[in-house]
Structure 1
């Protein structure tokens, strides 16, 4: 065989590199989705188990049960959509053909994966809204005597929901009009919805933080510092603040990586995005678990005070 004829051309090497990168990326993407979904299942199981055994006739508990079931459904839908989109996008590699270039086959597979992409974004929006709603609900209860605080939080929640609806609509239009999925318009809309969601959570978490500080000030004169730190209501508030700040940090990081073309790693960006999407849905169950495990839902007076 002629050595010149057996030497791959530059274009063939580029194709091989691109195919290898895409396959490796998809494997990492699927493993990341599986890992974070698997971690969310015990949290939901714990939350559902607690709600089933506490104050079954309580309307707030029934509301939280419904919210938890719906959130678990959206997280599961997120996982299925992500896996379906990835596997469908890889279908081009399972049908090699000498008559059709790999780029054409990839474009066709990408077109087939579009419904999964839209569904994935819808479930992502539902997860973000659930995370926003649960922390706004908690902050509103803590500030039940202040209409201004509750109205501001509800307004921020409505703005965040509107940004998410725009994000889904814009993404769907881009896909169906065959303009691609990586346009700056989509990325800006996606990042905007994340930043609005983080703003809602930061505002609500700040309200909870202020309430925690006021509560600590009210009991520190009658208790030792050790007893204050072990006080159940204070521990709940402190745990909610910790979770809220961590959630906000994850959302901001995801939003920055979404619009940063100079992100250090495509894989790192994908992992952060996967984590944020699943943590957004799991966050509501985590908050419920923190509260319900300390009897704060079952006891109405406790809810009002804390």
Structure 2
């Protein structure tokens, strides 16, 4: 085996190692966690308004995209590469075999870009929608969030198109779109958190524990989940900076963080939906309402987190 052949085999082994770890092991684990959260959310989800039906359609579509991403893109791509490059070899020349393998998976590579970017858009829209509806602060904050979301969607679509038309593994738009998505979720998380804390302090003296809901833990969970998602997005954006030297270890890190970011993009909206649903259920509890009316006359001015607007 010539040195050139050894290099080709090493590159192929590195490719398989990276994608088995990132695409199969990590994605499979993250998908299992997401599947559990998805089932729990859908089972308890109430459909009693147009906006709630739209949100349900969005999270179901995100679930289908997540299935497409793992089971109908990543796994077939890996199996096709192994079959063409190692099993059904068309030539005695190793270079030709692996070139054929690269050509065979080119279509799968294009298919991978769209589920990831579309899921980011859907997840960001759901979180922004909830933040926009419940926000009772200055209106200019809503306008800033809307503008950022539009720019974010355009960049995600442009990024997917660029990934399809270029042969480069990573393009500048990968990092730019990740930074903008990070900004969108940071602002939306801030708006939801501020509104939720205002709500908590407005009803903290109304014996909220009688409903069986620990609101403080729910609020902390919402803050932590939003913060963790923002950190994941920030790290993903930073490691894609063009100034960083491309190495196998960095490439594997990008794949792993990308898998985590992809699942987080659909998990975080589920956390927001579940949080607000639990809060709404407690607000409509008869014992809570009767106690509220008996103890205070100002409850009507209390800000409410609801999924039924519009």
Q: What TM-score range do you get, normalising by the shorter chain? A: 0.7 to 0.9
From 258, 263, 268, give the equivalent of 1:273.
258
From 144, 151, 168, give the equivalent of 1:181.
168
Do residues 63 (structure 1) and 54 (structure 2) align? yes
Do residues 242 (structure 1) and 189 (structure 2) align? no
Indicate the RMSD between aligned Cα atoms, in angstroms.
3.1
**Unaligned stretches of 5+ in structure 1?**
1-7, 175-179
Distance 1:303 1:109, change over 3 A: farther
Report 1:119-198 matches (<5 A).
119-144=111-136, 146-174=138-166, 180-182=167-169, 186-198=170-182
| Alignment correspondent of 2:304 | 305
Distance 1:237 1:133, change over 3 A: farther
Contact 2:8 2:95 in 1 (8 A): no
Do residues 36 (structure 1) and 18 (structure 2) align? no
TM-score in terms of structure 2 length: 0.79
Contact 1:198 1:248 in 2 (8 A): yes
Contact 1:215 1:234 in 2 (8 A): no
The number of residues matched between the two structures is 283
Measure, in 2, the Cα distance between the counterparts of 1:196 and 1:282. 19
Q: CA deviation at 1:198?
A: 0.8
**Unaligned stretches of 5+ in structure 2?**
285-299, 306-310
Do residues 49 (structure 1) and 43 (structure 2) align? yes
Stretch moving more, 283-292 or 134-143: 283-292
Q: CA deviation at 1:303?
A: 10
From 26, 48, 51, give the equivalent of 2:19.
26
Measure, in 2, the Cα distance between the counterparts of 1:298 and 1:128. 31
Do residues 201 (structure 1) and 188 (structure 2) align? no
Distance 1:61 1:232, change over 3 A: farther
Measure, in 2, the Cα distance between the counterparts of 1:164 and 1:33. 21
Q: CA deviation at 1:254?
A: 1.3
Q: Deviation digits for residues 28-81 of structure 1, max 9, x if unmatched? A: 132222221122111110111011xx3x33333222221121111111111121
Distance 1:70 1:16, change over 3 A: closer
Contact 1:160 1:197 in 2 (8 A): yes
From 5, 17, 20, give the equivalent of 2:10.
17
